[in-house]
Amino acid sequence: MASQLTQRGALSLLFFLTPAVTPTWYAGSGYYPDESYNEVYAEEVPRAPALDYRVPRWCYTLNIQDGEATCYSPRGGNYHSSLGTRCELSCDRGFRLIGRRSVQCLPSRRWSGTAYCRHIDPPKIRCPHSREKMAEPEKLTARVYWDPPLVKDSADGTITRVTLRGPEPGSHFPEGEHVIRYTAYDRAYNRASCKFIVKVQVRRCPSLKPPQHGYLTCTSAGDNYGATCEYHCDGGYDRQGTPSRVCQSSRQWSGSPPICTPMKINVNVNSAAGLLDQFYEKQRLLIISAPDPSNRYYKMQISMLQQSTCGLDLRHVTIIELVGQPPQEVGRIREQQLSANIIEELRQFQRLTRSYFNMVLIDKQGIDRDRYMEPVTPEEIFTFIDDYLLSNQELTQRREQRDICE
């Protein structure tokens, strides 16, 4: 019996429990009961299993766009994506690493982090040189051409977009300075800009003054290279000299300025048509007919018109009087006398009777515009002319000379 105890003691832990004690087992403690001997045996807590690099486990191959991964595998050789491999990440010149600089292949077959390379250097762009150009003859603009800018990306050479702020090449540019700006964008949305200036000049001549008793009409701006200015005289005046002048590239006007002289009416013509042609597009005519100089209406009308010579001249109106009966009949324009033949033709052309007072207003094109059988005030005549007969040029002059007769 003693021998059995000694042998059992040699095989067991030196922990003894009395038979009356209930054996205790703590789950997960590493101990378990032996009911036959009422003894408790100890078992060593198991360690975490070490990574077995002999069994191939792989992560996906690291491909860093615009960069590289330098990897070190515990297995050596070319196992650069195997379990436990550590990779150092870097980017090419002009790129910045975003994310983890060092990653490791985990048992889950995933890398311990992510990263990518972002392009940070803007593109290189060079614009054309600034340029200056003269406007074309008779124009205030110039057509300007240029080559597109030179653009290069500092990384992979990919330019995704180039925008232009300003007119396109070949556009017409007005006088002045114009800033043209180009902007280039790369794949990473980095941008770079450049600009140049287009300057357009207009050759200009000194401003011309209108002639006394006349006005100017000019093409284009009226003083730029190639512009033509034509001289006109008011009604009752004739132009003497060059009718028009041109602004030359030397910035000087051609020729010399004409003058406007009082209109000379030639009454020694063979027909009424020859007389009226002298007034065509120059003067309006107010032809007054009366049976005799003592006619009450005639005297009243002439008296009112004599007090309004300024308004008549301003509206380019010439008065022709046909008074009396043959052979004592008188026809006159101002102080100039008309022949009996001209008087008769005028009466027939304009249907003017000798029997009573009558009057006709003729426009600058020789058209009968209004007739009167009794005297009218100059204001009534002026209102009709101003409302219906004035050209655009005359309207402009009337606005400028509104108070000239007051």
Which residue did the predictor score with more confidence, 12 or 388?
388
Helix, strand and coil in the chain, % to nearest 5: 15, 35, 50
Calculate mean pLDDT across residues 392-405.
78
Region 130-145 average pLDDT: 95
Q: How would residue 77 be classed by pLDDT, with cut points 50, 70 and 90?
A: low
Q: Is 290 helix (H, G, I), strand (E, B) or coil?
A: strand
**DSSP label of 373:** S
pLDDT-derived band of residue 44, with 50, 70 and 90 as boundaries? Answer: low
User: Average pLDDT of 101-109?
Assistant: 91
Q: pLDDT value at position 20?
A: 42
Q: What is the pLDDT of residue 160?
A: 87
Is residue 376 within 8 A of residue 383, CB to CB? The reply is: no
Q: What are the two backbone dihedrals, phi and then psi, of residue 76, each rounded to the nearest 5 degrees?
A: 75, -175
CA triple 84-90-91, angle to 5 deg? 145
Q: Check the CA dihedral 372-376-381-384 and report its sign.
A: negative
Other C-beta atoms lying within 10 Å of the C-beta of residue 163: 11
**Could you say which DSSP state residue 156 is in?**
S
pLDDT band at 368 (very low <50, low <70, confident <90, very high): very high
Q: Looking at residue 263, what DSSP letter applies?
A: P
The string of pLDDT tens digits covering residues 139-154 is 999 999 999 999 988 7
CA angle 281, 284, 290 (to 5 degrees): 145
Buried b (16+ CB within 10 A) or exposed e, 349-375: bbebebeebbbbbbbbeeeeebebeeb
| Nearest-angstrom CA–CA distance, 64 and 36 | 66
Residue 279: other Cβ atoms inside 10 A: 21
pLDDT, the chain, mean: 85
- Taking the C-alpha atoms of residue 316 and residue 5, their distance in angstroms, rounded to an integer, is 158
Spatial contact of 235 and 282, defined as CB atoms under 8 Å apart: yes
pLDDT tens, residue by residue, 156-187: 678 889 999 999 999 999 999 999 999 999 88
Quote the strand ranges of 85-175, DSSP E. 86-91, 95-99, 102-104, 115-119, 124-126, 131-134, 141-144, 150-152, 159-165, 171-174
| C-alpha to C-alpha distance for 396 and 302, rounded to whole angstroms | 29
User: Average pLDDT for residues 71-95, to the nearest whole number?
Assistant: 82
pTM over cut 0.85 = no
d(CA 225, CA 255): 15
Tokens linked to 212: 């006394």
